[in-house]
Chain A
Amino acid sequence: MHKQNTWELLERLADPVVKPEEQRQLEQQIKKDPNLQDILQTFRILQTWPAVEKATLAEPYPQVLINRLEHEWELEAVDRELGRVFPFVAAASLAAAVIIGIINIGAMREFANDPIDALLGLPQHSLDDIILAEL
């Protein structure tokens, strides 16, 4: 018998809605084939598997998994908060840089060679040059 048909036969036999007459016919069919009888025995043993497994496996509470997920959620929350704070930090840094630049330009305009040097606070003459000039 084709493997697929064998399985269909077993499932039909195990179907709770199958009529007694059909069940008898199916059992007759199986009785004729010793190989099929063996397969049916194995099928019936495996049908008891969930029950015996349930009776032996005391299902543990998934605490380790819950802890792992909580850690994941914590990291996610930190990332979210950092994402929220970042634009403010970036804007404040930029504003501070602009203010320092303006102060530098204001204070160093007369002493610097060009605006870039003034922005960076670099005078045209170093302190040594000034001292030497005054000597």
Chain B
Amino acid sequence: MGDHHAFRQLVERFHGRLLATAMGMLRSAHDAEEVVQESFVRFYRAINRFEGRSELGTYLTRITMNESLKVIRKNKRWKFRLLSRDDPDSTVPDPVEVIKIQPMETKERAACIREAVQTLKPEFRNVVVLRFLNDYSTAECARILQIPAGTVMSRLSRALEKLGPALKHLNEHA
């Protein structure tokens, strides 16, 4: 019973952070909530395998990232099945086209950034979400994603280049 109480506290403590991570990775809030639920349930079922070598938050974020990537892959498969190859809509939209220039309320600003980030490929998206939205250091991002820190840095730099045109107008409304 005590374990359950502790786990409930853990859920309350990390739910918001993991939801933000999943929201940054996925377009749909429903998918994000599902991913977070699945992450906690997976962690609970395999709790004995958690050796405490990494911080709990980092470990949970890694599970959430992997679950988000699974959903992205699944959605991509469905998209390819549903759209014909010569369908003009089947190409990934240019970030510049997605974002419409308009006066920025905080809500719209957040939505603009999220939309722009979601046009990135998953391997760029996850570093941006972890580094900027979750405020993990470059080294922590590397640990979570299990890739070298140098790769994280170059991906971040390339992601910023790609996001530049889509986010440029936000500076005018800062």
User: Which residues of A approach B to under 8 Å, CB–CB?
Assistant: 2-4, 6-8, 10-11, 35, 38-39, 41-50, 52-53, 55-57, 59, 61-62, 64-66, 68-70, 72-73
Asked if A52 meets B156 with Cβ closer than 8 Å, knowing A38-B168, A57-B20, A59-B15, the reply is: no
User: Which residues of B approach A to under 8 Å, CB–CB?
Assistant: 4, 7-8, 11-12, 15-16, 19-20, 23-24, 33, 36-37, 40-41, 44, 106-107, 109-111, 113-114, 128, 132-135, 138, 150, 153-154, 156-158, 160-161, 163-164, 167-168, 170-171, 174
Instruction: Report whether B158 and A3 are in contact in the complex, using a CB–CB cutoff of 8 Å.
Output: yes
SS class, residues of chain A in contact with chain B: helix
Q: Of A10, A41, A57, A65, which is in contact with the most chain B CB atoms at under 10 Å from its CB?
A: A65
Name the distance in Å between A13's Cβ and chain B's nearest Cβ.
13
Instruction: Report whether B171 and A55 are in contact in the complex, using a CB–CB cutoff of 8 Å.
Output: no
A47 to B135, CA, bound (A): 9
A107 to B37, CA, bound (A): 63
With a CB–CB cut-off of 8 A, which chain B residues contact A2?
154
Q: Of B20, B40, B154, B156, which is in contact with the most chain A CB atoms at under 10 Å from its CB?
A: B156
Measured CB to CB, the nearest residue on chain A to B1 is A73
A-B Cβ contacts below 8 A, count: 114
Instruction: Report whether A4 and B153 are in contact in the complex, using a CB–CB cutoff of 8 Å.
Output: yes
Measured CB to CB, the nearest residue on chain A to B158 is A3
A42 to B135, CA, bound (A): 16
With a CB–CB cut-off of 8 A, which chain B residues contact A65?
11, 15, 36-37, 40
A53 to B21, CA, bound (A): 11
In the complex, 17 of the A-B residue pairs with CB atoms within 8 angstroms, ordered by the A residue number, are A3-B154, A4-B157, A38-B161, A39-B161, A41-B164, A41-B168, A42-B163, A44-B171, A45-B113, A55-B106, A56-B111, A64-B33, A65-B15, A65-B40, A66-B11, A69-B4, A69-B11
